[in-house]
Amino acid sequence: MDREIIESHVTLEEYKKIVNLLGRKPNLIELGIFSAMWSEHCSYKSSRPHLSKFPTKAPWVVQGPGENAGIIMVDEEKEICAAFKIESHNHPSFIEPFNGASTGVGGILRDVFTMGARPIACMDSLRFGEIDNPKMKYVMKGVVAGISHYGNCVGVPTVGGEIYFDQCYQTNPLVNAFALGIVKKEKIFYAKAAGVGNPVIYVGSKTGRDGIHGATMASEEFSSEEEVGKKVNVQVGDPFVEKLLIEACLEAMKTEGIIAIQDMGAAGLTSSSVEMASRGNVGIKLELDKVPVREKGMTPYEIMLSESQERMVVVCEKGKESKIIDVFEKWGLDACIIGEIIEEAAIKLFWHNEEVAKIPINILTDEAPVYYRPFKTPKYIIENRNYIQNNITEPKNLNEITLKLLSSPTISKKQWIYEQYDHMVQINTAVYPGSDAAVLRVKGTEKGIAISSDCNSRYCYLNPYEGGKITVAEAARNVACSGATPKAITDCLNFASPEDPEIMWQFVKCTDGMADACRVLDTPVVSGNVSFYNETANKNGKRAIFPTPTVVCVGVLDKIENKTTKDFKNKEDIIILLGENSGNISGTEYQKLIQGEFKGTGQTIDLAFERILQKSIIEAISKNLINSAHDISEGGLAVTLFESAFDNNLGFKVRLDDEIRTDFLLFGEEQSRIIISVSPEKENETLEFFKIKTIPAKIIGKVTGKEGTILHKEKTVVKISIEEAKNIYESNLERKLEQ
């Protein structure tokens, strides 16, 4: 049994607790179930004490955390809701990039349509190591191919996302997948089992040996030497079956009788059955020999822990099971009764009429260990307090610096990626990838939904509390720049080992900052995922990722016709800067370019001002004062101006008079700043509007012809043709991938 304890990934202390709770030693099947349900991925045993500080309620929140996806109200009159969630598929995507990423998309789609919602959009947040590394090129190409393959084949558009490159992700890339669907309020389904004697139906694909112990693999660090051996833990998906499953589930939901429905995600049949029973305070009996399998000789252990894709569990009213089964069989899917709901609050497993496992439900859920991990301030934080950015020598050629920033893989245009995605299928996409936020139509209404994925992990590394605030604020600001009111967020909290007190400190401070931002900005957390152990051991020691709490903000436009994009629209339009410049380059792309590393205390943000800024930009857009709006982020003011110019091939001439060193002024990434353009006839009205709102609004120039020109006081410091800058901005990522 000692060897079995080690292979089960439970600690010796956890094993002793299991024996004490059961009153006996668990058998191998039971130990495997505990291993999955008590894993970090399923139990949140290190993060749970800190997640409770997130605000989760608001008048527009229909369903908060605890279900497969969060749900908010989009149209009160027509009771149309949006269901959405983001989750990680990090380790699988490094081990097997194509299948790891594609099954990440499949899994998050199931979380959404399990709620009764038809998926209408996907996004992805990706982090890779330096793009010059051959392994990273391989991983990146595989991940992008997997995302595009699954999304395109299943017929759900990938409408946006983000991608960052940094050395810290060299051996641990991040793949966070998001999906959103639309559902009428009265058509929402939940995963809460009920009704003693009601049948449990298995639907979807057959069960195989792929993905066994996937949940535990996602809850541990691994070494580079283990990579090949862990390929068996990665699932293999089939988007064509997923499409059938979507249609079959949505049709079956129209048939009376379904009480609860649950995706078989992490830990497969184990987690889906236990979680459904736990929510309903009932027990569940499963006859595992009735589970459809695609491989010979599969054991109860393998069947319970398999993470084969495109599978669901349905609980329906007794006597109505044949109608439900008929629907799934019509769509060519497996559908059969594998058990029933029982009064005793336990999971009972049978194999050819012999009971092979029995565990009380509450032991697997309520009694799962909770760790109050110690945390302490990292040494690098203390050392960085003495950083002085003025020690950097100011470059003489700022044209060259601007072009280098525009060609940076993190900043440069990602068309090589999103051109592989079908972002127009279902014809709901109103603002395409590349603007501050994607915007979706809500058919049958005047409403629109805006979504933006954000996280600058460099800020979170240098100052986790402020970085956590900024992550939420920037996602919401991007949504606001589209004209939508931010309503809620879903998050994917990617960190290294919680057993390291310095990593745990990053987690605590980041989530503190996120919680504060959510409260101030009225964006409750309605769903999410925690991904720990994002670090890899090799002969040089451990390499941990930067803290990366990815956030997707979802907002609502009352009238989609008011949607706004980042690009300048007309020559002679007035360019206005909202917010104040301070020239902070800590954690910026410019600092990486000049120094090759990140130093200082990072960026900071005033949430009270951010709230006013966002509400003001939304109102200004609704009043049709603004032609374009673009959040100033990576690369600073100079990069933002050029990005605003490219789409319509328009130039600009801008003069800045701030008493700040020129390079810091152009490339600093201080928060709560937006570049807007307005028609000349609306100049005075716009300035007066923002004055009343107490938002600093300064005319800095106008939209022109073929060049981007920036003056600092009376000196021209940047002058580049739009054609040259655009060519570099649009071609560099693809060129680097081909090298």
The pLDDT of residue 494: 97
Q: Say yes or no to pLDDT of 225 above 50.
A: no
Could you tell me the pLDDT band of residue 6, with boundaries at 50, 70 and 90? very low
The pLDDT of residue 111: 95
Can you say how many angstroms the Cα of residue 397 is from the centroid of all Cα atoms in its chain?
A: 38
Could you tell me the pLDDT band of residue 415, with boundaries at 50, 70 and 90? confident
Q: Say yes or no to pLDDT of 617 above 90.
A: yes
Residue 297 contacts residue 353 (beta carbons within 8 Å): no
Q: Say yes or no to pLDDT of 3 above 70.
A: no
The pLDDT of residue 216: 47
- CA separation for the pair 275, 290 (Å, rounded): 21
The pLDDT of residue 230: 46
The pLDDT of residue 422: 76
The pLDDT of residue 595: 92
What is the three-state SS of 422-476?
A: CCCHHHCEEECECECCEEEECCCCCCEEEEEEECCHHHHHHCHHHHHHHHHHHHH
Structure tokens of 332? Answer: 């060519």
Nearest to 655 by CA among 724, 576, 568, 720: 576
119 CB-near residues (< 8 Å, 6+ apart): 109, 112, 113, 156, 179, 180, 181, 246
Torsion-angle region of residue 297: left (phi > 0), alpha (psi -120 to 50) or beta? left
- CA separation for the pair 296, 215 (Å, rounded): 23
Angle at 617 between CA 614 and CA 623, to 5 degrees: 140
The pLDDT of residue 390: 85
> Is 9 marked active-site?
no
657 CB-near residues (< 8 Å, 6+ apart): 712, 713
- CA separation for the pair 700, 696 (Å, rounded): 12
The pLDDT of residue 237: 81
* pLDDT tens, position by position, 671-690: 999 999 999 999 999 999 99
- CA separation for the pair 737, 739 (Å, rounded): 6
Which of 27-36, 414-423, 695-704 has the least mean pLDDT?
414-423
- In this structure, is the dihedral angle defined by the CA atoms of residues 451, 455, 456 and 462, taken in order, positive or negative? positive
Angle at 347 between CA 87 and CA 114, to 5 degrees: 35
> Tokens 């269901």 identify what position?
83
203 CB-near residues (< 8 Å, 6+ apart): 245, 248, 249, 311, 312, 313, 314, 328, 333, 334, 335
Angle at 314 between CA 309 and CA 320, to 5 degrees: 140
* Strand ranges across the sheet with 628-631: 628-631, 674-678, 574-578, 697-704, 651-656, 707-712, 715-721
- CA separation for the pair 211, 170 (Å, rounded): 24
- CA separation for the pair 717, 396 (Å, rounded): 9
Q: What percent of the chain has pLDDT over 90?
A: 84
Q: What is the mean pLDDT of residues 32-44?
A: 92
Which structural domains are found in the chain, ordered by start?
A: 1-37+190-368 (3.90.650.10), 58-188+414-559 (3.30.1330.10), 383-412+564-739 (3.90.650.10)
Could you tell me the pLDDT band of residue 217, with boundaries at 50, 70 and 90? very low
* pLDDT tens, position by position, 55-74: 999 999 999 999 999 999 99
Q: What is the mean pLDDT of residues 243-250?
A: 95
Could you tell me the pLDDT band of residue 229, with boundaries at 50, 70 and 90? very low
Structure tokens of 441? Answer: 């139509």
451 φ, ψ to 5°?
Answer: -135, 140
**Higher model confidence: residue 585 or residue 429?**
585
Which of 62-71, 149-158, 206-215, 358-367 has the least mean pLDDT?
206-215
* pLDDT tens, position by position, 519-564: 999 999 999 999 999 998 766 667 899 999 999 999 999 999 999 9
Could you tell me the pLDDT band of residue 209, with boundaries at 50, 70 and 90? confident
> Is 89 marked active-site?
yes
Annotated catalytic residue within 9, 41, 91, 630 = 41
Annotated catalytic residue within 89, 91, 630, 712 = 89
Amino acid (one-letter) located at 416: W
The pLDDT of residue 424: 75
Could you tell me the pLDDT band of residue 4, with boundaries at 50, 70 and 90? low
Length of the chain counted residue by residue: 739
580 CB-near residues (< 8 Å, 6+ apart): 670, 673, 696
Torsion-angle region of residue 86: left (phi > 0), alpha (psi -120 to 50) or beta? beta
* Strand ranges across the sheet with 525-531: 429-431, 438-441, 448-454, 548-557, 485-494, 525-531
3-class DSSP assignment, residue 531: strand
Could you tell me the pLDDT band of residue 739, with boundaries at 50, 70 and 90? confident
**Higher model confidence: residue 94 or residue 464?**
464
> Tokens 């998926």 identify what position?
119
| Direct distance between the N- and C-terminal alpha carbons of the chain, in angstroms, rounded to an integer | 52
3-class DSSP assignment, residue 122: strand
Task: Name the burial class of residue 518, with classes exposed (0-12), middle (13-18) and buried (19+) by CB atoms within 10 angstroms of its CB.
Answer: buried
The pLDDT of residue 511: 98
Could you tell me the pLDDT band of residue 213, with boundaries at 50, 70 and 90? low
DSSP string, 236-259: ---HHHHHHHHHHHHHHTTSTTEE
Q: What is the mean pLDDT of residues 625-652?
A: 97
Q: Say yes or no to pLDDT of 218 above 80.
A: no
The pLDDT of residue 388: 86
565-600 burial by CB neighbour count: b if 16+ within 10 A, else e? bbbbbeeebbbbbbbebebbbbbbbbbbebeeebbb
Angle at 156 between CA 154 and CA 160, to 5 degrees: 135
Q: Say yes or no to pLDDT of 215 above 50.
A: no
The per-residue pLDDT of the chain, averaged, comes to 92
DSSP string, 379-398: HHHHHHTT--GGGSPPPS-H
